[in-house]
């Protein structure tokens, strides 16, 4: 099928999202494909306004540099689409003779991809739509894990280790340190901090995930008990933890974002103030914020390679007449050796759905993760990325 290709990056960026972009471009340029490879500038904004840039002319060096550059090179944009917008998008794709459409994003993005695929079919426009998974939250259905999660998990586990080493320096301290991770409804990132809890440093670990209702009374009792035992602790909380009434744990009501979701963040400062105000115990909080999804220094090479391969497989399946699917990572059953293969899953089985930490992988009483959880995460964070530098700082690339 003749025509051109368009790639979109959507949702929150990650440390390795550009690897999926380059994976698609490399596969296209190394094939017999004669059309142009375009990128949508600003994600949905470019789609709605027909702002496409030609990526076919990126040199090998430029493409290579983008592989170790964090953030979405094409740009992203949060926007709530209407049915009319979907019609507009498909008409613009038709006008520009886009026949291969790749949408890199999370579960919300897969829903957009599904709507575009359905609209194209509705008007009889031949368009191959491929979803390319990306999520630091690791909440995508249909895939063993999501590219972007491994690097964010490695970053947070490293943060946890560094914090523990700092706290170990003060042998008489019993301060409470609260580390707040991203994770609106799923606790995969918070759970990843459990990878360093075996280190013997007289530091208690407690992890709170959104999947399990948060009890303030029980929490405060644990803090009081730790203080009496003169034991320091690192408490890891997902930003989206909620009480038994499904209310976000926060001091104030939260504003909504453009998608109608509560703007999260701040649970760690609220808990810190509560501990200090009601118990008089020394406490502090740490907010990695967007750093956890944008740090290339602690990116996992496994994650980088898989993100690139996902892009390449997206091109392969598009060339083999697939449409309305997302690329999925499939983990081998071999426990002795971590390996993944790639398959497809229907967009309708992924779109708008969320994948949570299995109930059996979290101990509610101990507020800790099981060995099965750790065995699941540990292979994904393996490998280091060596960053080229100039004057002591990384050399990143750019497109827009």
The stretch 123-145 carries a mean pLDDT of 98
Measure the CA–CA gap between 310 and 56, rounded to whole angstroms.
19
pLDDT digits (tens, 9 = 90+) for 234-290: 999 999 999 999 888 875 555 554 555 555 668 999 999 999 999 999 999 999 999
Residue 193 in domain: yes
- On the question of pLDDT at 26 being above 90, the answer is yes
- Selected catalytic residue, list 26, 117, 137, 303: 137
Which of 249, 275, 293 finishes a domain?
293
Please give the structure tokens belonging to residue 398.
């750019």
Same domain, yes or no: 36 and 85: yes
Q: CB-based contacts of 87: which residues, under 8 Å, 6+ apart?
A: 119
Number of domains in the chain: 2
Read off the CATH number of the domain in which 262 is found.
Answer: 3.40.50.460
Residue 14 in domain: yes
Q: CB-based contacts of 171: which residues, under 8 Å, 6+ apart?
A: none
The model's pTM is 0.94
Q: What is the pLDDT of residue 45?
A: 95
pLDDT digits (tens, 9 = 90+) for 197-240: 877 667 889 999 999 999 999 999 999 998 888 888 999 999 99
Which of 273, 293, 313 finishes a domain?
293
Strands (E), the chain: 4-9, 37-40, 52-54, 98-105, 128-133, 176-181, 203-208, 232-238, 283-286, 325-331, 340-346, 362-363, 368-369, 389-390, 393-394
pLDDT digits (tens, 9 = 90+) for 344-371: 999 999 999 999 999 999 999 999 999 9
Residue 375 in domain: no
Task: Print the domain residue range for 176.
Answer: 149-293
Of 37, 52, 48, 32, which is closest to residue 400 (Cα–Cα)? 52
Distances (CA, A) of 44 to 9, 80, 112, 362: 8, 10, 10, 37
Same domain, yes or no: 283 and 302: no
Half-sphere exposure in the Cβ direction for 353 (13 Å, CA): 12
137 is catalytic: yes
Residue 373 in domain: no
Q: CB-based contacts of 204: which residues, under 8 Å, 6+ apart?
A: 226, 231, 232, 233, 234
């Amino acid at each position: 099928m003749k025509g051109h290709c368009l790639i979109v990056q959507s949702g929150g960026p990650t440390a390795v999202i550009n690897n999926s972009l380059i994976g698609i471009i490399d596969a296209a340029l190394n094939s017999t494909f004669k059309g142009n490879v375009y990128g949508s500038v600003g994600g949905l904004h470019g789609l709605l306004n027909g702002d496409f840039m030609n990526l076919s002319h990126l040199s090998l060096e430029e493409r290579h540099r983008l592989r170790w550059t964090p953030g979405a090179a094409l740009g992203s944009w949060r926007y709530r689409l209407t049915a009319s917008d979907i019609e507009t998008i498909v008409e613009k794709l038709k006008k520009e003779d886009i026949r291969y459409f790749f949408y890199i994003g999370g579960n919300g993005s897969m829903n957009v991809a599904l709507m575009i695929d359905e609209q194209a079919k509705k008007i009889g426009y031949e368009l191959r739509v491929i979803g390319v998974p990306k999520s630091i939250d690791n909440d995508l259905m249909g895939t063993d894990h999501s590219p972007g999660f491994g690097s964010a998990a490695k970053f947070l586990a490293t943060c946890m280790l560094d914090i523990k080493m700092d706290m170990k320096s003060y042998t008489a301290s019993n301060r409470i340190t609260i580390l707040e991770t991203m994770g609106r409804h799923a606790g995969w990132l918070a759970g990843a901090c459990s990878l360093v809890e075996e280190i013997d440093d007289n530091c208690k670990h407690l992890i709170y995930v959104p999947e399990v209702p948060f009890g303030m009374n029980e929490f405060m009792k644990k803090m009081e008990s730790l203080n009496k035992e003169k034991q320091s602790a690192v408490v890891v909380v997902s930003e989206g933890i909620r009480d038994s009434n499904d209310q976000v744990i926060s001091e104030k009501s939260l504003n909504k974002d453009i998608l109608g979701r509560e703007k999260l963040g701040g649970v760690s400062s609220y808990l810190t103030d509560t501990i200090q105000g009601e118990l008089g115990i020394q406490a502090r909080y740490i907010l990695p914020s967007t750093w956890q999804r944008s740090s290339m220094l602690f990116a996992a090479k496994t994650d980088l390679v898989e993100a690139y391969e996902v892009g390449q497989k997206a091109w392969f399946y598009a060339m083999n007449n697939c449409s309305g699917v997302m690329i999925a990572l499939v983990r081998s059953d071999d426990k002795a050796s971590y390996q993944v293969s790639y398959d497809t899953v229907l967009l309708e089985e992924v779109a708008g759905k969320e994948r949570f930490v299995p109930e059996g992988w979290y101990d509610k009483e101990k507020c800790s993760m099981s060995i099965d959880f750790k065995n699941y995460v540990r292979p994904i964070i393996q490998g280091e990325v060596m960053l080229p530098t100039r004057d002591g700082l990384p050399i990143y690339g750019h497109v827009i």
